Chain A
């Protein structure tokens, strides 16, 4: 029982960052119809920016986090403007191949610059974990959960409360009509990709200090993000948020009660289950007419 509670607490903490990853990917897919294979690389970039800021530049941990997120934002904007904009109007397969090329170049670039040895990011939190009854949680992990939830909240506010968010929602419904109604779709696409990338970078920057940072860390994160997006329904932001927590739960329980070696296989099992029983995802939007 105590063990189960511990798993549930871990689920919450892991789920927050997974939700960030999934929301970023599903936004880009839903609005731009791009299968983003740079998402994992952006996660890695976020983690390395955090490492650079804290370990190399000696920046305050809490200041480094927004720096890493901002870095992800700029990286994403650059990728969109340089690589996706020239391919606007191409089919989804072409942009996917472009993203695969960009993803592998980014990942190899990280390996080239930083080398293959994993790096640790020092955290300012006390080593002694918070003990509540049988459950123990490190202060760092609690901060990660809080920050992730805060960022999810900010993203929701951005989408639902701002003019930019309104334009994004319009582009999501139908980009042609949105363009006719005066929405600057080019700008929306850049903003969307930058926002999605910054969320991936945020996830990397938050999980980097919890684990270690290495160039291939993004590959697995990307697969998990895909599983979350399929689970939540392609393009469904709330679905991705909930999907993040479901995947985290499956991983915690799978690793805890089945085998820790297969923790990372849970995403695939979830994808299979979704395809078998509810191919449109758990939280599919109503079918569009047309």
Chain B
């Protein structure tokens, strides 16, 4: 399998502080890969670099062979690399349905299938009816697919935490990505919600979407990932399938060196190994 995403010797510095020293790994087409590491290891920073929200101080990210250097977030999305956010994953004042309609922005762009050459002009002249109908149908289908149809007319900001995460996923899928980056998708979810989400992740992969996750929930990471990349202090310390990561001395060391939360995560990882 060929690499869809290559992180090539990326470094990020804020003033004198090194957030990522030298990060180098690939994600292959169709894989589910997790990026883990103790708090402050640079995981979210890495995500922000991959999606253009941060400019790396060194190195570059390549996606489907294209360098992402100097590209804006919206341009990266247009290449087929989508993401979700850890905390604010919805447009809070809009309905769930309108959230997805906003997410379908690119699907309504000039030159997209069934869309005219000047969408703003079409809207002004009242000629956008047909393309709007198509977008609405797609929004309905997407909501149905993630299981949020019953919530379509509710304000996204009023939804429960786990449901907002689903809206976030629907938004990202609305961009028709080839690859999806999920930033701590199950943090704050209970066990049954997490199980549902794991199934959703697998179904997203079945749609042909490659996945990269940042996640703290070790049992979930061990269950869902094909491969795990471990970061500590902005450096890659281990990389491999879940079985190997579980027993990797460097990984255990990294987690034990941290506070109690990290130790608990490490213990959970061990538990998951024995389960």
Residues in chain A within 8 A of chain B (CB atoms)? 286-289
Contacts and interface: CB of A to CB of B under 8 A. Distances in A.
B113 interface: no
Given A288-B14, A289-B17, 6 more contacts: A286-B14, A286-B15, A287-B14, A287-B15, A289-B14, A289-B19
Nearest to A290: B14
Nearest to A288: B14
B16 to A, nearest CB: 8
Contacts of B17: 289
8 contacts: A286-B14, A286-B15, A287-B14, A287-B15, A288-B14, A289-B14, A289-B17, A289-B19
A286 B14 CA distance: 7
Contacts, number: 8
A287 B19 CA distance: 12
Contacts of B19: 289
Interface in B1-35: 14-15, 17, 19
Nearest to B17: A289
Interface residues of B, number: 4
B56 to A, nearest CB: 13
B43 to A, nearest CB: 14
A202 B208 CA distance: 67
B53 to A, nearest CB: 12
A232 B163 CA distance: 44
A289 B12 CA distance: 11
A27 to B, nearest CB: 22
Contacts of A286: 14-15
Contacts of A289: 14, 17, 19
B20 to A, nearest CB: 12
A289 B16 CA distance: 11
Contacts of B14: 286-289
B183 to A, nearest CB: 15
Nearest to B14: A289
A94 to B, nearest CB: 15
A30 B17 CA distance: 22
Nearest to A289: B14
Nearest to B16: A286
B83 to A, nearest CB: 18
Contacts of A287: 14-15
Contacts of A288: 14
Nearest to B44: A290
A213 to B, nearest CB: 45
A289 B45 CA distance: 10
Nearest to A287: B14
B72 to A, nearest CB: 15
Q: Which 3 A-B pairs have the closest CB atoms?
A: A286-B15, A289-B14, A287-B14
B41 to A, nearest CB: 13
Interface in B161-218: none
Interface string B238-259: 0000000000000000000000
Interface in B132-188: none
B262 to A, nearest CB: 20
A119 to B, nearest CB: 49
Nearest to B45: A289
A289 B17 CA distance: 9
Nearest to A285: B15
Nearest to B54: A287
A289 B14 CA distance: 7
Contacts of B15: 286-287
A176 to B, nearest CB: 15
A286 B17 CA distance: 10
B243 to A, nearest CB: 34
A288 B19 CA distance: 12
A109 to B, nearest CB: 36
A288 B17 CA distance: 10
A289 B15 CA distance: 9
A287 B57 CA distance: 13
Nearest to B15: A286
A170 B15 CA distance: 19
A288 B14 CA distance: 7
A173 to B, nearest CB: 14
A134 B15 CA distance: 48
Nearest to B12: A289
A61 to B, nearest CB: 47
A253 to B, nearest CB: 35
A271 to B, nearest CB: 24
A188 B185 CA distance: 38
B55 to A, nearest CB: 10
A45 to B, nearest CB: 39
A57 B17 CA distance: 58
B14 to A, nearest CB: 5
Nearest to A286: B15
A289 B54 CA distance: 11
